A and B are shown apart, each in its own frame.
Chain A
Amino acid sequence: MLQLSGLTKTYGDQPGVDRVDLAAPSGSRTVIVGPSGSGKTTLLRLIAGFETPDAGNITLDGRPLDTVPPHQRNIAYVAQEGALFPHMSVAENIGFAIPRQASNRESRIDTLLARVGLSAAMKSRRPHELSGGQQQRVALARALAQQPALMLLDEPFSALDTGLREAMRDMVEAVLREAGIASILVTHDQSEALAFADHLVVMRDARIADAGQPQRLYEQPIDIETAKFLGETIIFEAAIRGGVADTPLGPLAVDHSDTAKATILVRPEQVRIAENGTLARILHSSYRGAARRLELECQSAGHFSIDVPAATSLTQGDSVCLAVNGRGHVFRSR
């Protein structure tokens, strides 16, 4: 269990991380997501011990880490592009944290290689002979070799191609789950964050904006910025009467008690084309293969886009009726 409380780090007059509290239970996969400059990498480096906090403290399984240097923390760190040691072979890289005299050294290296899906023939290769994905696999195997209490991953997939990225993400997730190692992953990619996390932390301007289960954050975010950061939004203001909001898209069940004026979030995928309902005009229609994206203009709900089955005959200029599935989310703050 990793716990951060009141963690603060300032660079000059720029806050890097500002009064951050966070708990990551053993075996959990925490993802810190945020735009660049939001302080997420700083937070990771504070946990690894590469930076010293100005205030606040970090404990790992009850042990305070304040005075513990990085090499005694047993926290593995996987850097953005793997940071493989260029003067060592793949096997030497993986074996770096395994004592030389360990009798099962070779077999452990073999097991780790297999675990990250690399063949034993790779052992004698040098890092520059590997592809980006292979380098990341070796970096992961190397970090697993030290049997860490916690694994930190700093944008580990950002240098990979889109297709490879998803495969790697699933592989890393599976390996970490099997090994039962708690992990904290930093990314600026919200779809990656939603897919990897069982605990999601959204950072903005050096602070934690919202934290919790990914589904809760997506469906019921704490504020508009978080909602927009995690996906596309339709936002409008409406009065709520009897648990139902009177919205431009028609009456909508919401998760809030009655009030004269509330700010309500609907995700575009909740909107569907119906027999009757609110009228909207198609401004533009573009073909996307599996789906067709319609750009809509709706009185007082503004502009938004929805995906419909590609086989539709709707075209630009047509009018359609819209209905909303599920419930709307009412922002609590402000």
Chain B
Amino acid sequence: MAIGEVIEAQRPRTLRVPRGGSHSAIFLAAGITGLLSLLPLLFVLYVAVTSGWDTIADLVLRPKVAALLLNTAALLLLVLPLSATLAVACAWLIERTDLPLARLWSWLMVAPLALPAFVHSYAWSAFAPRFHGLGAAVLVSILAYLPFVYLPVAAQLRRLDPALEETAQSMGKAPLAVFFRIVLPQLRLAILGGGLLIGLHLLAEYGLFVLTRFDTFATVIVDQFQSVYNGPSANLLGGVLVLLCLGLLGLETGLRGDERYARVGTGAARQRRRVMLGRWKWPALALLTAFALLSLAVPILTLSRWLIAGGAEIWRLDFILPALGQTATLAFAGAALTTLAALPMAWLTVRAPSRMQKLLEAAHSYVGALPGVIIALALVTVTVNVALPLYQTIATLLFAYALMFLPRALVGLRTSIAQAPVELERAALSLGRKPVSAIWHTTVRLAAPGALASAALVGLGITTELTATLMLAPNGTRTLAMRFWSYTSELDFAAAAPYALLMIVLSIPLVVLLHAKADRADQA
């Protein structure tokens, strides 16, 4: 599940009519990836079956788990409605009113994405050390994840046909009624998609909640994993966490229903008139300024403070350069592997849709919803029990990345393949190329720029991945995120600062890519 997917999902997808001929090699490749994607789910089933009812009752039905469930519920019930409301309000102000500097604000709303969630909470725990618990967890989560729902909502607001609102107005509805009866219902898919993304991140996030001292399933699982490797308790809690993720997915699917809010008709949308804010301009500016201050100014100021306080000493290049090198290597290798793994599926989805293809695609997509801890637990169990030589190797870590970021790569590839005309493939075939070669030299070549962009998104995701990296990386691996994390855990905020800065700088392209993607989405 990736933010790009939420933006894309609202666009009615046009699928090619299936055509004859078998693509057995491609189907086989997609099938292997699909089966491997099922590993984490099989792991959870394996744990549930082999543990026996008594162990499950013992380890799951206890007050600690109830407390974790309560924490998770409180987190979801506070963060999701607040983020949705805030995102809709900000998106409306920026896209629909005469608010000054709208362009700048739309960048500032997305900019928090450049900071990994655990860097946000690092900044807050250094800025206000006494601020922790549920309140801190909720605030920092909103600050870190708001762009996930802001981006699709803003894109959808731009895409709505202004004639709908004008017609409703001419039918005697006051502006407020028009907003609630015409605009808001059409933002539903965007809000649900963004909300699901935030919900899944809340379930998966480790670093943010450790630093705000708020226990969630992810933090407790990692703790237990670090004290007793591969223990049944961590595995069973993992099972509960997977159920929660599936529950969220199911809830979103149920709420979304079978709706299609596409634009009816094909005419060019007219430039819309912006609402005059008048005296509401100042409260509106205050709201956006407050968000920018909390989500950007606090982290940047805190970080600057530690960077200045640390001086030249904290720039231990003998540590930083190897970390940078390792991170870059992992990011490049992981992005390449993930993109290659997603390629067969992406091609099948666009060119040869079928029932089987839908099943395979679902297998590819669901892993993205699973937290990194689950994928890590599954791979640890599998390698320890089945393929010990692979335990704690780079190969296993890259495989984990591929599973985690498969949907992200799939979405980008799907879109760029759909834009390459199928006629070219057919022309290459009729000129005597074998199918795979024909596809490689036409569609894949044309889709390369889009594929590069989605590979970049994957690589950037790997750059700031913490949980699975902590659990799976071979001894001696020290990525930027790991260095940052070990200093932060020792409360050495100054030494951690250069790593935070590097991760932020490396994530800026992510912000630019996502902002551009949302900009383009409304031209569809």
Interface residues of A (CB under 8 A from B): 48-51, 69-87, 96-97, 126-128, 132, 135, 142-143, 146, 152, 159
Q: Which residues of A contact B18 (CB under 8 A)?
A: none
Bound-state Cα–Cα, A215 to B273, Å: 38
Q: Given B166, B173, B175, B262, which contacts A48 in the complex, CB threshold below 8 Å?
A: B166
CB of B181 to closest CB in A, whole Å = 8
Given contact pairs A74-B172, A81-B267, enumerate 10 new A-B contacts (beta carbons under 8 Å): A48-B166, A76-B170, A81-B264, A83-B164, A83-B166, A86-B164, A86-B260, A87-B188, A96-B173, A128-B262
Asked whether A87 lies within 8 Å of B261 as measured between CB atoms, the reply is: yes
CB of B160 to closest CB in A, whole Å = 10
Asked whether A50 lies within 8 Å of B161 as measured between CB atoms, the reply is: no
Asked whether B263 lies within 8 Å of A71 as measured between CB atoms, the reply is: no
Asked whether A146 lies within 8 Å of B262 as measured between CB atoms, the reply is: no
Q: Given known contacts A128-B260, A135-B264, A146-B172, is B167 in contact with A86 (CB within 8 Å)?
A: no
B 147-191 binary contact with A (CB < 8 Å = 1; else 0): 000000000000001011011111111110010011001101000
Interface status of B259 (Cβ within 8 A of chain A):
yes
Asked whether B167 lies within 8 Å of A83 as measured between CB atoms, the reply is: yes
Asked whether A71 lies within 8 Å of B173 as measured between CB atoms, the reply is: yes
Bound-state Cα–Cα, A172 to B395, Å: 70
CB of A321 to closest CB in B, whole Å = 50
Bound-state Cα–Cα, A96 to B181, Å: 10
Asked whether B266 lies within 8 Å of A81 as measured between CB atoms, the reply is: yes
Q: Which residues of B contact A152 (CB under 8 A)?
A: 170
Asked whether A71 lies within 8 Å of B186 as measured between CB atoms, the reply is: no
Asked whether A70 lies within 8 Å of B260 as measured between CB atoms, the reply is: no
Q: Given known contacts A81-B265, A81-B267, is B163 in contact with A87 (CB within 8 Å)?
A: no
Chain A residue, CB-CB nearest to B185 = A87
Q: List 27 A-B contacts (CB under 8 A).
A: A49-B169, A50-B169, A71-B169, A71-B171, A76-B170, A77-B166, A80-B265, A81-B265, A82-B265, A83-B264, A85-B164, A86-B186, A86-B260, A87-B185, A87-B188, A87-B261, A96-B171, A96-B173, A97-B171, A127-B264, A128-B260, A128-B264, A132-B265, A135-B265, A152-B170, A159-B266, A159-B267
Q: Which residues of B contact A159 (CB under 8 A)?
A: 265-267
CB of B243 to closest CB in A, whole Å = 32
Bound-state Cα–Cα, A69 to B163, Å: 16
> What is the interface size of chain B, counting residues whose CB is below 8 A from a CB of the partner?
29
Q: Which residues of B contact A142 (CB under 8 A)?
A: 167, 171
Asked whether B265 lies within 8 Å of A71 as measured between CB atoms, the reply is: no
Bound-state Cα–Cα, A97 to B169, Å: 10
CB of B176 to closest CB in A, whole Å = 10
Q: Which residues of B contact A76 (CB under 8 A)?
A: 170-171
Bound-state Cα–Cα, A184 to B266, Å: 24
Asked whether A83 lies within 8 Å of B163 as measured between CB atoms, the reply is: yes
Q: Which residues of B contact A77 (CB under 8 A)?
A: 166-167, 170
Q: Which residues of B contact A127 (CB under 8 A)?
A: 264
Q: Which residues of B contact A69 (CB under 8 A)?
A: 169, 174-175
Chain B residue, CB-CB nearest to A45 = B166
CB of B148 to closest CB in A, whole Å = 23
Chain B residue, CB-CB nearest to A127 = B264
Asked whether B263 lies within 8 Å of A86 as measured between CB atoms, the reply is: yes
Bound-state Cα–Cα, A284 to B320, Å: 84
Asked whether A71 lies within 8 Å of B172 as measured between CB atoms, the reply is: yes
In B206-264, the 8 Å CB interface with A consists of 259-264
Q: Given B169, B182, B185, B262, which contacts A70 in the complex, CB threshold below 8 Å?
A: B169
Chain B residue, CB-CB nearest to A96 = B171
Q: Which residues of A contact B172 (CB under 8 A)?
A: 71-72, 74, 97, 146
Chain B residue, CB-CB nearest to A48 = B170
Bound-state Cα–Cα, A70 to B259, Å: 30
Asked whether A84 lies within 8 Å of B264 as measured between CB atoms, the reply is: yes
Chain B residue, CB-CB nearest to A126 = B260
Bound-state Cα–Cα, A143 to B168, Å: 10
Chain B residue, CB-CB nearest to A72 = B172
Bound-state Cα–Cα, A126 to B260, Å: 9
Bound-state Cα–Cα, A71 to B273, Å: 16
CB of B270 to closest CB in A, whole Å = 9
6 closest residue pairs by CB, A with B: A81-B265, A77-B170, A79-B163, A83-B163, A97-B171, A70-B169
Q: Which residues of B contact A146 (CB under 8 A)?
A: 171-172
Q: Which residues of B contact A75 (CB under 8 A)?
A: 170
Bound-state Cα–Cα, A143 to B263, Å: 20
Bound-state Cα–Cα, A304 to B352, Å: 56
Chain A residue, CB-CB nearest to B268 = A80
Q: Which residues of A contact B182 (CB under 8 A)?
A: 85
CB of B8 to closest CB in A, whole Å = 18
Bound-state Cα–Cα, A226 to B164, Å: 34
Q: Given known contacts A84-B264, A86-B263, A159-B267, is B185 in contact with A96 (CB within 8 Å)?
A: no
Q: Given known contacts A71-B169, A73-B170, A142-B171, is B266 in contact with A87 (CB within 8 Å)?
A: no
Chain A residue, CB-CB nearest to B182 = A85
Chain A residue, CB-CB nearest to B273 = A50
Q: Which residues of B contact A79 (CB under 8 A)?
A: 163, 166-167
Bound-state Cα–Cα, A79 to B268, Å: 12
CB of A73 to closest CB in B, whole Å = 7
Scoring A75, A86, A142, A159 by chain B CB atoms within 10 A of each residue's CB, the highest score goes to A86
Chain B residue, CB-CB nearest to A74 = B172
Asked whether A86 lies within 8 Å of B264 as measured between CB atoms, the reply is: yes
CB of A308 to closest CB in B, whole Å = 40
Q: Given known contacts A51-B273, A71-B175, is B264 in contact with A96 (CB within 8 Å)?
A: no
Chain B residue, CB-CB nearest to A83 = B163
Bound-state Cα–Cα, A159 to B266, Å: 9
Q: Which residues of A contact B265 (CB under 8 A)?
A: 80-83, 132, 135, 159
Bound-state Cα–Cα, A82 to B164, Å: 9
Bound-state Cα–Cα, A146 to B170, Å: 9
Bound-state Cα–Cα, A132 to B260, Å: 17
Asked whether A96 lies within 8 Å of B168 as measured between CB atoms, the reply is: yes
Asked whether B174 lies within 8 Å of A71 as measured between CB atoms, the reply is: yes
CB of B10 to closest CB in A, whole Å = 12
Bound-state Cα–Cα, A38 to B439, Å: 50
Chain B residue, CB-CB nearest to A77 = B170
Q: Which residues of A contact B186 (CB under 8 A)?
A: 86-87
Bound-state Cα–Cα, A51 to B266, Å: 24
Scoring A49, A78, A79 by chain B CB atoms within 10 A of each residue's CB, the highest score goes to A79
Bound-state Cα–Cα, A159 to B264, Å: 12
Bound-state Cα–Cα, A117 to B407, Å: 48
